[in-house]
């Protein structure tokens, strides 16, 4: 579910109300990324967003409802940076774009001192065994990410840049899985070497499927 869809589920919000709700969700997203879901209280979110308790509960019936909004926020942020059809560094439909995507991922982790990992991946790991609905929403976010990557690879095959026997769906899923594993090891090791090596090997594998 996208941020807009989540917001639309709350009836009759004014522009000011929508802005307040978005501010609360963003504050919760930042806190849950830094501290984890369990260690973030409604009171923490209230203080960070600069609102009173009644405002939090006006827009979100409970913490689980707030977590849903956070998943939507983090999914949109991640897809906008890493995986949308038109991410900030261009479509992922060429080896040049894929290499730039790799450099962006590594550079972002370095700028964060390798802290935090993937926001939606981290949320998923915290909630998968305790909140089935939240797990499903995280899975849907990953599915959108996967399809965006695969779309670029399909475009390459349609233009004849990838061989006809290349499987964009399998390559795209493998690339996303490699990124997630690399981000986890980067978070644990506080070093981007695993992320760099994993993405380089996977991109070399994709490049080996280029038509010559």
Residue recorded with tokens 């369990």: 38
Superfamily (CATH) of domain 3-207? Tetracycline Repressor, domain 2 (1.10.357.10)
pTM of the model as a whole: 0.83
Cα distances (Å, whole numbers) of residue 92 to 64, 120, 151? 34, 20, 8
Tens-digit pLDDT profile for residues 143-177? 999 998 999 999 999 999 999 999 999 999 999 99
Contact yes or no for 206/183 (Cβ under 8 A): no
- Mean pLDDT, 10 residues at a time, the chain of 212 residues: 51 82 93 90 94 90 92 87 53 91 93 90 89 91 91 95 96 97 96 98 98 86
Residue ranges of domains in the chain: 3-207
Cα Rg for the chain, rounded, in angstroms?
Answer: 19
Cα(104)–Cα(112) distance, rounded to whole angstroms? 12
Contact yes or no for 121/184 (Cβ under 8 A): yes
């Amino acid at each position: 579910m996208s941020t807009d869809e989540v917001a639309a589920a709350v009836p009759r919000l004014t522009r000011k109300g929508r802005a307040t709700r978005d501010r609360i969700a963003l504050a919760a997203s930042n806190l849950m990324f830094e501290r984890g879901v369990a260690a973030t209280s409604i009171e923490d979110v209230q203080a960070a967003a600069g609102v009173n308790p009644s405002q939090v509960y006006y827009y979100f019936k409970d913490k689980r409802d707030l977590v849903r909004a956070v998943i939507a926020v983090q999914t949109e942020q991640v897809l906008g940076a890493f995986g949308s059809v038109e991410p900030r560094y261009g479509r992922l439909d060429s080896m040049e774009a894929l290499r730039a995507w790799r450099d962006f991922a590594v550079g972002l982790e370095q700028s964060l001192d390798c802290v935090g990992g993937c926001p939606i991946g981290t949320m998923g790991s915290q909630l998968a065994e305790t909140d089935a609905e939240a797990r499903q929403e995280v899975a849907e976010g990953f599915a959108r990410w996967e399809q965006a990557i695969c779309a670029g690879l399909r475009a390459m095959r349609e233009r004849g840049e990838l061989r006809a026997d290349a499987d964009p769906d399998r390559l795209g899923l493998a690339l996303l899985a490699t990124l997630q594993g690399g981000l986890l090891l980067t978070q644990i090791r506080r070093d981007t070497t695993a992320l760099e090596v994993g993405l380089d090997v996977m991109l070399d594998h994709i490049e080996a499927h280029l038509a010559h």
